[in-house]
Amino acid sequence: MAASRYRRFLRLCEEWPVEDSKRQRDLGAVLRQRVAQAFREGENTPISDPEACDQMYESLLRIHTNFYKNKYPRLKDTTFTGVTMEDCRVILATDILKQMEGLKKGTWKRLREKFSAKKPEEDSK
């Protein structure tokens, strides 16, 4: 029975898309890592709680197939702010988030870095 569970998880991992724009934060990549950890011995891995394993698979399958998105369709594809799903995807990309980290610095910290002869890394030591 563990072999069939393992194959189902592998199939789900194959179908789950990987987003390159979310490096080190992608759910598909995390799913692959967790399946590799949980099934270290492949089909021969003993499963201590088969019921919890099946429940986890069903939950992930519902996320993957957009079960609730299809069950409860939205009237509009935007949020109350007017931001579309594509805009959110662009904003949450790793490169954009790194750029925004620089903007989060306070005025005092930016001025100190600008006029300081030391590098900020040396300042924290």
Q: Do residues 53 and 47 touch, judged by C-beta distance below 8 A?
A: yes
Per-residue pLDDT at 122? 54
Q: What is the pLDDT of residues 22-46, one digit of tens each?
A: 767 778 888 998 998 888 888 888 8
Residue 30 confidence (pLDDT): 87
First-last CA distance in the chain: 55
The secondary structure of the chain in percent helix, strand, coil, rounded to multiples of 5, reads 65, 0, 35
Reported as a single tens digit per residue, the pLDDT across 50-78 is 899 999 999 999 999 999 989 998 887 77
- The top-scoring range by mean pLDDT among 14-18, 32-36, 105-109 is 32-36
N residues, the chain:
125
